[in-house]
Amino acid sequence: MSLFWLSLLITTIVVGYMVAVDSYAWQIIKTLIKKMPLARQQSIKKWYWVINTFFILNLIVFRVTITDWMPNAYKILLGVSAIIFYLGKTFMCIPLIINDLTQIAYASLQALRFYFFPPVVKQGTENKISRSEFLAKTSLVLGAIPMGLVSYGVAVGAYDYRVIYQTIKLPNLPTAFDGLRIGQISDIHCSYLVQTTHFARGIESLLQQKTDLIFFTGDLVNYDTQEAQPFAKYLQKIKAPLGVYSCLGNHDYGDYRAWANNSEKARNLQAMRDLHQTLGWHLLEDTHVFLTENQEKIAILGVGNWGTRGRFPKYGKLAQAHQNAEAAVKILLSHDPSHWEAQVLDYQDIDLSFAGHTHGMQMGIEWGSWQWSPIQYLYDQWGGLYQKNGQYLYVNRGFGFSDIFPSRVGILPEITVIELKKA
């Protein structure tokens, strides 16, 4: 399927969903306003459908036309408002949908009952479940809760950076690297949605940890390298005594936008490589480097994106990165955590892997050591530290956010600090 037809299909599905949600939500609003004067009811109805039509038409414009002429502030306001409104209306519809399904089930059972056991005398009353005012008010409350949470996540949660500290003990860690402190960030997703003031504060928080080296595990942008240019002056501040090492994520290749030709896409990828170099980051594409202290060394390997879920590309060549990487400890940077079980565990001398990619779906619950997110039904390793057969994987929950959902609820942006100790 071509990119055009895929885009058309997605747009059709989303528009159909929006219309269905709007129609259901109107039934609830109509119940709540039925005691108002008729003129006011008509006014509310008119503006309800005008606003909904406005959102739908803007979505179509975004999907099928070039929108660079639109001010960024307008894009931000429109996108965030649409997400908040439609998420809220989706939850509003849940009681109504349950009620409708209940009525359908009840009517079906009654029809079967009357077919097999015809009543001797027909009763004049019905046992029908109605859409009561109580149901409408319950729907309104259900819709308000996610709207409030997502609104808070846009304004506060998306920039509520937290630092997570973790100690990992490795039996074969060289003495010279005992106590090595590693900082990790991932999934920055530079875009017009990101508020630079808050972004700069997050970078400063990373630098305040004074780690020995820093890892960036992919997804610097959403669609093309140009998105990162306004943030370069902040990104170039990311320094560490032993260096900054990075790998590419699935978004860094330019796979999620249409290009005039393959040469243009290749130039974009080269621009991404050049940007890493300009920032002073050591981009590892299917290769490795050594860190040496007192004649002892560890190896840092990095691969291109390699994932097993959906349409995520398999660019990485782990065998190539691993070749001749002779060191007491091997550390791997690989953006997608599904790579770990699919390939990495087969290399038993890779002691520790760093990944990102999932963002923890930017929503969920974390309570002490217990955590839950919808993303766990897609990824077995999605946030935090994992261990199998003496090999470790750390999955960073992401520094930024997706442009599709510019909010974080429960799963906050993360800066990781890992200290290596000799077991």
User: How many Cβ atoms sit within 10 Å of the Cβ of residue 40?
Assistant: 10
C-alpha 390, offset from chain centre: 29
User: Edge-to-edge strands of the sheet including 244-246?
Assistant: 162-170, 414-422, 181-185, 213-216, 244-246, 281-283
Scanning 124-282, the segments in alpha helix (DSSP H) are 133-155, 196-207, 232-235, 262-279
What does the CA dihedral 201, 202, 205, 209 come to, rounded to 10 degrees? -150
Q: What angle do CA 300, 271, 3 make, to 5 degrees?
A: 105
pLDDT tens-place values along the chain, 423 residues long: 555 676 677 778 888 888 888 888 888 788 778 888 888 888 888 988 898 898 888 877 766 554 455 666 666 667 777 877 787 888 887 777 776 777 777 677 777 766 666 665 545 444 444 445 666 667 667 777 777 888 888 889 999 999 999 999 999 999 999 999 999 999 999 988 898 999 999 999 999 999 999 999 999 999 999 999 999 999 999 999 999 999 999 999 999 888 989 999 999 999 999 999 999 999 999 999 999 999 999 999 999 999 998 778 899 999 999 999 999 999 999 999 999 999 999 999 999 999 999 999 999 999 888 999 999 999 999 999 999 999 999 999 999 999 888 889 999 999 999 999 999
> What is the phi-psi region of residue 395: left when phi exceeds 0, alpha when psi lies from -120 to 50, beta otherwise?
beta
**Sequence spans of domains, the chain:** 3-121+130-155, 161-422
Q: What is the pLDDT of residue 129?
A: 42
* Terminal-residue alpha carbon distance, the chain: 52
> Residue 366: what are its φ and ψ, rounded to 5°?
-130, 120
Residues 6+ positions from 240 with CB-CB distance below 8 Å = 183, 211, 212, 213, 214
Q: What share of the chain is helix, strand, coil (3-state, %, to 5)?
A: 45, 20, 35
Q: What angle do CA 118, 122, 125 make, to 5 degrees?
A: 125
Q: What is the pLDDT of residue 1?
A: 53
Rounded to whole angstroms, the Cα distance separating 224 from 264 reads 11
Of 319, 228, 314, whose CA–CA distance to 275 is shortest? 228
**Token couple for 32:** 């709540």
Q: What is the pLDDT of residue 97?
A: 76
Q: What is the pLDDT of residue 132?
A: 57
Pairing verdict, β 329-333 and 296-302: parallel
Q: Which CATH class is domain 161-422?
A: alpha beta
